[in-house]
């Protein structure tokens, strides 16, 4: 019998290339890939792996996100706020009303959990 209540993330095989809604390039030529690896039955929570190359995006969030950084380095600066640097092993949350920049210093791989409202 297989336990379907546990899902271990494996390789990122079917990542979708392209910028996320609300993300606009403001410096360099960064690219991103997103692999949604699980969505709850009600569609309100999704999780997966995100990868990006160096450059800067201005991001506008509409949903809450939990992040665990696997590799890379980012400086996240809320509009009108202080920069926060995150790197491998760091975990953090981004509230649904966040607006600001994500400056990707080194190629990034992160696991994410997004609550869709």
What CATH number did the domain enclosing 35 receive? 2.60.120.10
Q: What is the pLDDT of residues 20-78, one digit of tens each?
A: 889 999 999 999 999 999 999 999 999 999 999 999 999 999 999 999 999 999 999 99
Residue 2 in domain: no
Taking the C-alpha atoms of residue 102 and residue 97, their distance in angstroms, rounded to an integer, is 15
Does residue 11 lie within any of the structural domains? Answer: no
56: in domain: yes
Counted domains in the chain? 1
Residue 3 lies in a domain: no
6, part of any domain: no
- Whether residue 1 lies inside any domain: the answer is no
Range of the domain at 34: 19-115
**Of 22, 21, 46, 17, whose CA–CA distance to 32 is shortest?**
17
Q: Per the domain annotation, does 8 fall within a domain?
A: no
What are 89-115's pLDDT values in tens digits? 999 999 999 999 999 999 999 999 999
């Amino acid at each position: 019998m297989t336990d379907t209540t546990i899902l271990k993330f494996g390789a990122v095989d079917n990542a979708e290339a392209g910028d996320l809604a609300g993300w606009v390039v403001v410096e360099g030529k960064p690219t991103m890939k997103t692999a949604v690896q699980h969505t709850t039955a009600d569609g309100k929570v999704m999780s997966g792996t995100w990868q990006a190359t160096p450059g800067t995006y201005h991001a506008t969030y509409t949903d809450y996100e939990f992040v665990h950084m696997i590799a890379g380095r980012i400086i996240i600066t809320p509009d009108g706020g202080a920069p926060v640097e995150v790197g491998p092993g760091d975990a953090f949350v981004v509230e649904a009303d966040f607006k600001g920049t994500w400056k990707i210093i080194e190629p990034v791989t992160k696991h994410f959990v997004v609550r869709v409202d």
